[in-house]
Amino acid sequence: MMRDTIVGRIPNMTSGRGARSRRKGDAKNIIEIRNLVKDYPLGSTTVHALRRMDLDIQEGDFLSIVGPSGSGKTTLLNVIGCIDHATDGSVKVGGTEITTLDDRQITDMRLHRIGFIFQTFNLIPVLDVRENVEFPLLLMKTMSKTEVRTRAEKLIDEVGLTEFVDHRPAELSGGQRQRVAIARALVTNPDIVLADEPTANLDSVTGAQILDLMRTMNKIEKTTFIFSTHDANVLKYARDIIKIKDGQIVKG
């Protein structure tokens, strides 16, 4: 019923330039959201963060979710990224229904299929650049030490931080830390990378560099990137754009 008021099959209906190009390739959906509801209790009232949202995102996309503060951007990313639970509805990531998974399964999902780039460049402070990038691979325990190191160093090289490989996060600039976060997000070769306002704490030049890097990595690694922003300057980097307002996707 609510689907009448929101935009379904979003890539076809948003203004993103990539929508057309991907339609050419007939790419399959990496994310399928149906009737998604997310409510937060707040004292005696309930905040309706997402209101019966439907959304499909295609594999390999470079998609931006935009909207004002409190519109539900971060909540949507959190639900897609298996960080938060849906109150109702269905969310499939790479064909897996994530709303029914237990904690262990959902953690595995985050480890193997999702990469994260947070707003505040969350790295492990006691590990250096190489160790931070290696961290998810070591959790996976599927590769030898040599393979882990080779893979991590490849990603570190791609984000341009080879000379800082032994530096701890505290010894890096904000932009460098975000590059490390990008490398770490991609090191497990995930289906999607989620970035919540990745440039919010960076100056405009560094922010542009990070977005360029993300787009480059999207091309190199063929990984779907979904990032949220409320910065209009960032939108030009997006191939597709979803606009959210009051927990619903709106036509742009």
Partner 1 sequence: MELILKIAWRNILRHKGKSLIIGVILFLGSLLMTVGNGVISGMDHGLERNIVNGFLGDLVIIPGKEKSDNVLFKMYGESIDKIANYKDIKKLLQKEDYIAGFLPIGRNVAMILNEEEGDPGYAMLLGVDFDQYRRFFPNNFESVEGRLLAKGESGILIPLKHREDVYDQMNVWLIPEGSAVTDKNLSDDARKNRKYLNVKHDAVFMGMSDVYSSSDIRLPVRGIIRYNALNTIWGHFSIMDIESYRRCLGYFAASESAVKVTKEKKKLLEMDSSNLDAMFGTTDFVVADTGKADISGISFKRKEIPKTSGDVDLEDGAYNLILVRLKDRVSLNRGLSKLNRSLASANLGVRATTWKKASGFIGSMATLIKGALFVFVMFLFLVAIIIIVNTLTMAALERTTEIGMMRAVGAQKGFIGRMFLGETAILSGLFGGLGVLIGVIAVKITPLLRITSDNDLVQLLFGGDTFMPYLSLGDIAVVLFELLLVTFITVIYPVKVSRGITPLDAISRD
Binding site for partner 1 (CB under 8 A): 74, 78, 81, 83-84, 103-104, 107-108, 110-112, 115-116, 118-120, 122-127, 131, 135-136, 138-140, 184, 188, 196
How near is the Cβ of 144 to partner 1 at its closest, in Å?
Answer: 13
How near is the Cβ of 252 to partner 1 at its closest, in Å?
Answer: 26
How near is the Cβ of 1 to partner 1 at its closest, in Å?
Answer: 29
Q: Which of 156, 120, 118, 119 is nearest to 137 (CA)?
A: 156
How near is the Cβ of 72 to partner 1 at its closest, in Å?
Answer: 14
C-beta of 153 vs 240, nearer to partner 1: 153
Identify the DSSP state of 6. Answer: S
Inter-residue contact 217 to 183 (CB < 8 Å): no
How near is the Cβ of 125 to partner 1 at its closest, in Å?
Answer: 7
Structure token digits, residue 86: 């849906």
C-beta of 19 vs 50, nearer to partner 1: 50
C-beta of 170 vs 205, nearer to partner 1: 170
Name 20's Cβ contacts closer than 8 Å, sequence gap at least 6. Answer: none
C-beta of 19 vs 195, nearer to partner 1: 195
Token pair 């990378």: residue: 193
Helix/strand/coil for 153 = helix
Helix/strand/coil for 163 = helix
Q: What is the largest CA-CA distance in the chain?
A: 55
C-beta of 124 vs 220, nearer to partner 1: 124
Burial class for 67, CB neighbours closer than 10 Å (0-12, 13-18, 19+): buried
